């Protein structure tokens, strides 16, 4: 099973100074910062997924400037992400990013625009423009009591676009492989949608709209789809990782999936920020006095004193670094964090989970290039450089989990060959 990492233009600065919290003066982000495969020294993925909604600016998390968009089309996806020399070859997948425009009545892209986007970016496989029909019912009987007009309209848009997409693709001899997205609101409607796309001639079909569903619901959908899936058709799950269910997914014919969850959990999850093996740990929240909006407002309003708060902040960081060097204790670290938390009121640390992290020191046992370079800094919830680095580590851990489940070859490199 192949794992695709969806791009959101997240990179880290290998020269960032974590003590002074500063970048080099002449740093140029695109030139000097590293993508995850560069930071780890080996790609923790088999492919990169590129969404048109992110590149075009439709999605909220779009980070592409006009210059970046132009360079992407000019250089192609492989040169843009600097994966052209990686072995084995990294696959590339293009989709429209339907979640990014799900509130619109119709997709903001025409079939022609999507065809040209995939072709100009030199993407391996491009998916037809789709529209998510939000709603899911456990059985066909339940749906009879609900107005399905909007769901049916959206599904029709997806299938009509898919039909035009493959027709124009074949007639005009586009060079990338065409793919399409199956949608539905019951196992049967997903199955029917998938079969319709098979009949159109698609050999790469993704299943969309699964992110809000429970794993058991996804498995029911896949059971229906797998009953008639042809062997030559590749089946992809959009936006899904769910390590515990990967073996089930593979047994039901899934050949690839993608997800940003391991990366974003590093700084968007309330407790599960750092992953190692089958265990998740809470990162230690030490917000920057000058980088946290709530702290700045509290200082400006006179609710807390800036100088004393800065002192407590430094004590927290120093105690953690001393602890990492075996020159301080867990109790001293926890006391410093509590003191800072009492003054600021914004940390949100779960002290028992922090104690577990400090007792087990997982960062000392991880062999990824991130943990070996940053040590304790990787488990500090503070600023984008640390947080994104921790996200990169989580992707490394996902790769290791996939190896342990025999979903990919154990020959995957895990030694540090990074810059």
Domain boundaries, the chain: 46-259, 268-404
List the one residue out of 174, 170, 200, 201 whose CA is nearest residue 118: 174
Do residues 131 and 158 make contact, with C-beta atoms less than 8 angstroms apart?
A: yes
pLDDT at 410: 58
Burial class (CB in 10 A: 0-12, 13-18, 19+), 294: exposed
pLDDT at 346: 67
Domain 46-259 belongs to what architecture? Alpha-Beta Barrel (3.20)
The vertex-206 CA angle with 204 and 211, nearest 5°, equals: 165
Start-to-end CA distance of the chain, whole Å, equals 29
Do residues 354 and 337 make contact, with C-beta atoms less than 8 angstroms apart?
A: yes
Please give the positions annotated as active site: 95, 258
The parts of the chain modelled with pLDDT lower than 70 are: 142-143, 346-347, 409-419
pLDDT at 414: 45
pLDDT at 326: 97
Cα-to-chain-centroid distance, residue 204: 21
pLDDT at 417: 38
What values do phi and psi take at 63, rounded to 5? -130, 15
């Amino acid at each position: 099973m192949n794992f695709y990492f969806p791009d959101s233009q997240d990179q880290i600065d290998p020269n960032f100074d974590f003590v002074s919290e500063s970048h080099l003066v002449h740093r140029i982000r695109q030139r000097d910062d590293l993508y995850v495969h560069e930071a780890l020294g080996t790609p923790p993925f088999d492919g990169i997924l590129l969404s048109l909604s992110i590149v075009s600016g439709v999605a909220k998390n779009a980070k592409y400037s006009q210059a970046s968009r132009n360079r992407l089309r000019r250089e192609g996806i492989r040169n843009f992400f600097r994966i052209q020399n990686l072995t084995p070859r990294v696959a590339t997948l293009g989709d429209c990013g339907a979640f990014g425009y799900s509130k619109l009545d119709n997709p903001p892209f025409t079939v022609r625009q999507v065809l040209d986007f995939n072709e100009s970016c030199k993407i391996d496989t491009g998916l037809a423009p789709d529209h998510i029909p939000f709603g899911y019912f456990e059985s066909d009987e339940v749906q009879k009591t609900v107005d399905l007009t909007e769901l049916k309209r959206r599904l029709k848009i997806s299938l009509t676009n898919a039909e035009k997409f493959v027709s124009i693709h074949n007639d005009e001899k586009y060079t990338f492989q065409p793919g399409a997205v199956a949608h539905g609101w019951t196992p049967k409607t997903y199955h029917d949608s998938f079969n319709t796309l098979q009949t159109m001639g698609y050999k790469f079909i993704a299943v969309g709209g699964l992110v809000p569903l429970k794993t058991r619901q996804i498995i029911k959908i896949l059971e229906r789809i797998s009953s008639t899936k042809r062997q030559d058709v590749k089946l992809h799950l959009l936006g899904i990782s769910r390590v515990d269910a990967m073996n089930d997914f593979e047994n039901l014919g899934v050949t690839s999936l993608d997800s940003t969850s391991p990366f974003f959990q590093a700084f968007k999850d309330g407790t599960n920020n750092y992953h190692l093996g089958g265990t998740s740990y809470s990162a230690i929240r030490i917000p920057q006095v000058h980088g946290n909006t709530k702290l700045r407002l509290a200082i400006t309003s006179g609710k807390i004193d800036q100088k004393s708060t800065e002192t407590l902040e430094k004590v927290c960081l120093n105690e953690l670094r001393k602890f990492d060097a075996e020159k301080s204790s867990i109790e001293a670290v926890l006391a410093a964090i509590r003191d800072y938390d009492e003054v600021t009121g914004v940390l949100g640390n779960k002290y028992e989970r922090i104690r577990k992290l400090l007792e087990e020191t997982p960062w000392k046992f991880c062999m990824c290039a991130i943990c070996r370079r940053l040590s304790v800094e990787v488990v500090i919830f503070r600023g984008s450089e640390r947080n994104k680095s921790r996200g990169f580590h989580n992707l490394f851990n996902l790769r290791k989990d996939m190896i342990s489940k025999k979903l990919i070859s154990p020959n995957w490199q895990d030694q540090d060959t990074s810059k």
